[in-house]
Copies of this chain bind each other. A is one copy, B any other.
Amino acid sequence: MQTPWDFRYAQRTQRMGSSAIRELLKLTENPEIISFGGGLPAPDVFPMEKIKEACNNVIDELGAVALQYGSTEGYTPLREMIARHTSRYACEVSTQNILITSGSQQALDLLGKIFINRGDRILVESPTYLGALQAWNAYGAEYITVPSDENGMVTEQLEDALRIGPKFIYVLPNFQNPTGTTLPLKRREQLVELADRYGVPIIEDDPYGQLRFEGEHIPSVMTVDNQYKGNHSKTYNGNVIYLSTFSKILAPGLRLAWIIAPPQVITKLTQAKQGADLHTATFNQVVAFEVGHGGFIDEHVKTIRSVYHERRDVMLDALEKNMPANVKWTHPEGGLFLWVTLPEEMDTIPLFQRAIEKKVAFVPGHSFHPDGRGKNSMRLNFSYCKPELIREGISRLAQAIKEEMAAAGKT
């Protein structure tokens, strides 16, 4: 059906592809497919009863306030709760530094809206989070990539990229999406030092920071920057914009996340958010505060960590037992994902077809590269499926890989 809208699209729509991940999420609706695609938390660890109790309490105690319009910045007690948490674990911030967003995806969109002019270059790890590319493509961003290895961004190669003149650096230092790697302290220090030398600020995206189940906590890039050059003040210096979310520590279906930024940036983001969705759902914010303010989340993440720890172990074990010798993968110390690299000649897009026939799904790795590389890699999610399904799914996937190799005459 032709309509008068058909020839009226804005130029920017040409850069808005549909996300492979979103299309894959649809596959997870077919219960026969074991999906390692998507970034779904384990439904087993949603605190259902606690959230139910909170829904009842906020309606009984706050009444209509819980369902009325609210301020764009977000529900003040929730912002205070986040400020207290950040001041304890990173550096001292106040509610003036905090904007509540409708998921971290909105944080990325609003940051693109206020910072990115068409043609601006953004420095990213390669591979990087697909959702950031998707949000920023709409504003006409170009990308400068820095390669990564099993320890995240190779900061030794950062300086050349900084000389090209990026507007900002975007980095996911903990259990990165898609690779699952973690940037060591030394590299965080080098990142902060070089960013300072070239005067380029950093956006740190940290959805999984609290989901470490192995190894030692490493201070956030925001914290490292704050203590740079022997600074002993704990007060947030504003150089690093920090993003985190309730999606992985409470429930993604609430769509609640937050941005930490200098007050003047929060003001601009708030103006952008007014135009984008007025404010994040009041009800969800008061429920999250009700669930979280007594310290429940700190306890609850321990359960999540132990469930994800087991599932990661099961997946690593299954990979070890099933995969051909020339397949490699990362060993994440937390988070939801690991990254598999096949021999260079292989392509995970035709492999995906074969995998779907065997009723197992993953995300082909090229989606996470702004320059289309990474075709021999894939992202696997280990948080969503129960252990027995992980074993079965990896066995199917290994079979698909072996057949694909055989078809290409590589066995």
A103 to chain B, nearest CB (A): 5
Among B5, B67, B261, contact of A262 (Cβ-Cβ < 8 Å):
B5
CA A28 to CA B267, docked complex, whole Å: 20
Check A275 against B102 for contact (C-beta < 8 Å). no
Among B16, B64, B252, B270, contact of A67 (Cβ-Cβ < 8 Å):
B252
One of A55-63, A148-156, A295-303 contacting the partner: A55-63
What sequence of 0s and 1s flags, for each residue 27-71 of chain A, a beta carbon within 8 Å of any chain B beta carbon?
000000000001111011010100110011001100111111111
A76 to chain B, nearest CB (A): 10
Q: Give this chain's copy count.
A: 2
Report if A356 contacts B (CB, 8 A): no
Check A277 against B40 for contact (C-beta < 8 Å). no
CA A183 to CA B72, docked complex, whole Å: 32
Among B22, B67, B278, contact of A131 (Cβ-Cβ < 8 Å):
B278
Report if A89 contacts B (CB, 8 A): no
Check B117 against A11 for contact (C-beta < 8 Å). yes
Report if A255 contacts B (CB, 8 A): yes
Report if A239 contacts B (CB, 8 A): yes
Check A105 against B43 for contact (C-beta < 8 Å). no
Q: Which residue, A13, A64, A131, A277, has most C-beta atoms of chain B within 10 A?
A: A277
Report if A280 contacts B (CB, 8 A): yes
CA A263 to CA B1, docked complex, whole Å: 9
Report if A106 contacts B (CB, 8 A): yes
What sequence of 0s and 1s flags, for each residue 116-155 of chain A, a beta carbon within 8 Å of any chain B beta carbon?
1100100000000001001101110000000000000000
Report if A374 contacts B (CB, 8 A): no
Report if A209 contacts B (CB, 8 A): no
* Interface residues on chain A, number (Cβ under 8 Å): 96
Check A115 against B253 for contact (C-beta < 8 Å). no
Residue numbers in B under 8 Å from A200 (CB-CB): 4
One of A213-221, A281-289, A325-333 contacting the partner: A281-289
Q: A167-B8, A272-B16 are in contact. Are A253 and B134 (CB under 8 A)?
A: no
Kindly list the 6 A-B residue pairs having the minimum CB-CB distance in the complex, ordered from nearest: A43-B64, A253-B282, A67-B251, A3-B238, A55-B55, A67-B253
Which positions in A face B, CB cutoff 8 Å? Answer: 1, 3-6, 8-13, 16-19, 22, 25-26, 38-41, 43-44, 46, 48, 51-52, 55-56, 59-60, 63-72, 102-103, 105-106, 108-109, 113-117, 120, 131, 134-135, 137-139, 167-168, 199-201, 237-239, 241, 247, 251-255, 261-265, 267-268, 270-272, 274-284
Can you sample 9 A-B contacts with CB below 8 Å? Answer: A3-B262, A5-B261, A10-B113, A18-B274, A19-B274, A22-B71, A68-B252, A109-B277, A255-B277
